[in-house]
């Protein structure tokens, strides 16, 4: 699995990780065992970055991941979780991180993101203070944000004393290209990773039609790949972009891992631009 540098750190992160928003609550044992098998398959294929959040089915995703990673060396797995900004108080934010760690049954998060920006800049300041404290206490290794505009990102960075924000997790895929065109140039310049969430437009392009479908079919044929693999390859063939597809089915996990090896030409990448 190809890796890229995480921000300006010495850390290398796989270009494709695993999303886990779809892990449902209240299901039977068999369902969770199947999820754990899927996550482990992904890890074995190099997708060692696992993305979760306290928000995902009220901690269910974090719990299932915690069980799935038990048999691995902690250093070999990269866990991202997210602070949901429903916590307004300083103490309740610190507690939210502890709860995530408890559910995951780990001592530290590799990357902790503020899930959504606050629309009042002073809240961003407060979030960053909490993030830096968690970093200094060793509860998290790196600080990131999600769904932040460039202005909000700058405000966040200004409010950190020493640390740097290493990544912004944004909605980006071959259909929704706004952040690739408008935000990526800034993050590239700043050496920040853009993590593309919902890289398969949430539903996996099962009913995609029209011009995009035709282009994807054409390029997929040339690379002996599926359209979903081309859609993922398109994202991660952009410098500073990593992606976190969610896949429950083992054949999807295998296909996604293989997509990391697809090299698209400049021309192939550009033909999909919709701007």
Ligand X SMILES: NC(=O)c1ccc[n+]([C@@H]2O[C@H](COP(=O)([O-])OP(=O)(O)OC[C@H]3O[C@@H](n4cnc5c(N)ncnc54)[C@H](OP(=O)(O)O)[C@@H]3O)[C@@H](O)[C@H]2O)c1
**Given the DSSP bridges, would you call strands 109-114 and 140-146 parallel, antiparallel or unpaired?**
parallel
Report 181-200 residues binding ligand X (CB under 6 A). 197-200
Among 41, 51, 96, 165, binds ligand X (CB under 6 A): 51
CA distance 230 to 237: 10
Among 27, 46, 133, 204, binds ligand X (CB under 6 A): 204
Shortest Å, Cβ 14 to ligand X: 14
> Could you say whether residue 179 binds ligand X (CB under 6 A)?
no
Among 203, 209, 270, 275, binds ligand X (CB under 6 A): 203
Bridge partners of residue 144, in order along the sequence? 113, 167
Residue 231 CA from chain centroid, whole number: 16
Q: Of 137 and 261, which CB lies nearer to ligand X in the complex structure? A: 261
Which H or E element spans position 81? strand 78-83
* Backbone phi, psi, residue 261, to 5°: -95, 0
> Could you say whether residue 27 binds ligand X (CB under 6 A)?
no
> Could you say whether residue 81 binds ligand X (CB under 6 A)?
no
DSSP 3-state of 101: helix
> Could you say whether residue 22 binds ligand X (CB under 6 A)?
yes
Shortest Å, Cβ 19 to ligand X: 2
Report 139-168 residues binding ligand X (CB under 6 A). 146-147
On whether the CB atoms of residues 199 and 235 are closer than 8 A, the answer is: yes
Helices (H), 150-246: 150-158, 178-182, 184-190, 210-222, 227-236
Q: List residues with catalytic annotation.
A: 56
Closest CA to 48 of 83, 6, 98, 82: 6
Shortest Å, Cβ 88 to ligand X: 19
Shortest Å, Cβ 226 to ligand X: 6
Longest dimension (CA), the chain: 54
Among 7, 14, 20, 96, binds ligand X (CB under 6 A): 20
Binding site for ligand X (CB under 6 A): 19-22, 51, 146-147, 169, 197-204, 226, 228, 244-249, 252, 255-256
């Amino acid at each position: 699995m190809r890796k890229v540098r995480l921000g300006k750190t010495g850390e290398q992160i796989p270009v494709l990780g695993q999303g886990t928003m779809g892990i449902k609550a209240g299901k039977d044992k068999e369902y969770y065992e199947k999820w754990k098998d899927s996550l482990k398959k992904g890890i074995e294929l190099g997708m060692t970055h696992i993305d979760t959040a306290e928000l995902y089915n009220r901690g269910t995703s974090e719990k299932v991941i915690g069980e799935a990673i038990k048999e691995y060396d902690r250093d070999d797995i990269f866990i991202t979780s997210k602070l949901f900004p429903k916590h307004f108080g300083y103490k309740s934010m610190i507690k939210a991180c502890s709860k995530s760690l408890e559910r995951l049954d780990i001592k530290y998060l590799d990357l902790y993101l503020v899930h959504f920006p606050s629309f009042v800049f002073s809240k961003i300041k407060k979030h960053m203070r909490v993030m830096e404290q968690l970093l200094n206490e060793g509860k998290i290794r790196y600080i990131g944000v999600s769904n932040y505009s460039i202005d909000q990102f700058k405000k966040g960075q200004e409010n950190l004393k020493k640390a740097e924000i290493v990544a912004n997790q944004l909605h980006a895929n071959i259909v929704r290209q706004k952040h690739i065109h408008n935000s990526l140039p800034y993050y590239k310049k700043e050496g920040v990773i853009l993590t593309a969430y919902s890289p398969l437009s949430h539903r996996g392009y099962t009913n995609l039609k029209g011009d995009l479908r035709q282009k994807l079919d054409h390029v997929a044929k040339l690379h002996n790949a599926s359209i979903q693999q081309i859609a993922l390859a398109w994202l991660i063939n952009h410098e500073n972009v990593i992606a976190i597809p969610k896949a429950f089915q083992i054949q999807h996990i295998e296909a996604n891992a293989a997509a990391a090896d697809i090299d698209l030409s400049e021309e192939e990448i550009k033909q999909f631009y919709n701007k």
